Amino acid sequence: MQLVDIGANLTHAAFRDDLPRVVERARQAGVAHIVVTGTAVDESLAATKIAEQFDLHATTGVHPHHARDCGPQTIPALRDIAQHPRVVAIGECGLDFNRNYSPHPDQEKWFVAQLELGMELGKPLFLHSRDAHPRFYEILRTHRVQRAVAHCFTGEKAELHAYLELGLYVGITGWICDERRGRHLLELVRDIPRERLLLETDSPYLTPRDLRPQPKARRNEPAFLPHVLEAVARALGRAPEEVAAETTRNALRFFGLHESGSSTAAQRPLAA
Radius of gyration of the chain (CA): 17
Rounded to whole angstroms, how far apart are CA atoms 259 and 32?
8
What phi and psi, each to the nearest 5 degrees, are found at residue 43?
Answer: -70, -35
- The set of residues, in sequence order, having a beta carbon less than 8 Å from that of 116 and lying 6+ positions away, is 143
Model pLDDT, residue 259 = 64
For residue 1, the model assigns a pLDDT of 86
> Do 115 and 143 contact (CB within 8 A), yes or no?
yes
The predicted structure's pLDDT at residue 98 = 95
Name the percent of the chain in helix, strand, coil, to the closest 5.
45, 15, 40
What is the reported pLDDT for 272?
Answer: 28
Identify whether the C-beta of residue 145 lies closer than 8 Å to the C-beta of residue 137. Answer: no
The angle that helices 240-255 and 225-236 make with each other, rounded to 10 degrees, is 110
In angstroms, how far is CA 126 from the centroid of its own chain? 6
Spell out the domains of the chain, with CATH numbers in brackets.
3-255 (3.20.20.140)
Contact 95, 129 (CB under 8 A): yes
- Residue numbers in the chain where pLDDT is lower than 50: 260-272
Which amino acid, one-letter code, is at 139? Answer: I
Which pLDDT value is given to residue 267?
37
- Alpha helices, DSSP H only, in 95-134? 104-121
Cis amide prior to 215 (ω within 30 degrees): no
